[in-house]
Amino acid sequence: MKLLHYNVYCGQGCKTDATEEKLAKLGAWLKAQAADVVGLTECNNWDKLPLARIAEGWGYPHIELLVTKSGYHVVLLAKLPIERFEDAPQSAFYHGMLHCRVNGVHIIELHLNPNGAALRRREVLPIADIVRGATCTVDAAEAVVVMGDFNNVSPVDRPWHDSSGLLQTMAECSRAERLRGRHMTDAGEIDYAAIEHLTDAGLQDVTPRRDDSLTDPTAKVAPPWTYPSPMRADQTDDPCLRIDLSMVNAPCLAQWDVQVKVLRDATVDTLSDHYPLCTTLLPKP
């Protein structure tokens, strides 16, 4: 079972004017990936498009759309039927989360607040409740995958952050003030609390496989990163960060061999400022 998460950057230009033609390049790329489930964030104004017909043309007859108060909508596409759950108040999120079950696996597509670590710490609380089973929608033996744009770095990457001098890099880049507000505590440290809270709830951050051909040996980064891509000129000196994550619970790890990979190619270099994340669930022998 192949799951794909992708932040598609302001709906591929639909934030200002929604047209079907603007989704053609993204649709062709998604179709070529042949994922079983696709979670998309920043689907601005896609509610104004014939989305069911468009998705079916990409190979996805099943679709769920979450219209968010921020306008950065969340979409889940699937080749198999989707069961949707409304077990967390969307008012708790700046953007939103979409909880569905496909082929027996609970999938939460998530887009957390970009405006500060303390805000994300509050947003993950209802996610933790779902994972723990407090909402009664997830049975103890069911697999859960939480994937999305967390806008938060992971403590798994802390050794890289420490050895590469991430704090200094963040302080010296042209968008330093914005990034400090996004990723640092009031004490001036990298904030991992949101991810740590989900880990305490029983989720594991599955580290993507490294592709050494895509790793610059001279760069002090924590590969494989998901942000930024080369798309935006104003982000060229941003530190490379892994903020799109795939987190799974213990039953998922017991049932499946979970493999995660950041996807990079010439097309996705230009589609979004994020790279897509692929999570593959392979049956265990």
Note the pTM of the prediction, 2 decimals: 0.95
Question: What is the full DSSP assignment across 4-63?
Answer: EEEE-HHHHTTTTS--GGGGHHHHHHHHHHT-SEEEEE--TTGGGS-HHHHHHHTT--EE
Q: What are phi and psi of 5, to 5 degrees?
A: -115, 140
DSSP code at position 114: T
- The tens-digit pLDDT sequence of the chain (285 residues) is 999 999 999 999 999 999 999 999 999 999 999 999 999 999 999 999 999 999 999 999 999 999 999 999 999 999 999 999 999 999 999 999 999 999 999 999 999 999 999 999 999 999 999 999 999 999 999 999 999 999 999 999 998 899 889 999 999 999 999 999 999 998 899 999 999 999 999 999 999 976 544 445 444 445 689 999 999 999 999 999 999 999 999 999 999 999 999 999 999 999 999 999 999 999 988
Q: What are phi and psi of 26, to 5 degrees?
A: -60, -45
Number of residues that make up the chain? 285
Per DSSP, the three-state class of 132 is: helix
Q: What are phi and psi of 99, to 5 degrees?
A: -105, 120
What homologous superfamily does CATH list for 2-283? Endonuclease/exonuclease/phosphatase (3.60.10.10)
Over 73-90, what HEC string results? CEEEEECCCCEEECCCCH
CA gap 21, 112 in Å, rounded: 28
pLDDT of amino acid 220 = 46
Q: Report, in this order, helix, strand and coil percent for the chain, each rounded to 5.
A: 35, 25, 40
pLDDT of amino acid 79 = 98
Domain spans of the chain, in order of start: 2-283
With a pLDDT cut of 90, the percent of the chain lying above it is: 88
Locate 83 and state its tokens: 């069961």
How many helices and strands in the chain, by DSSP H and E? 10, 12
Give whole-number Cα distances, 221 to 53, 103, 174, 266, in Å.
Answer: 41, 36, 17, 21
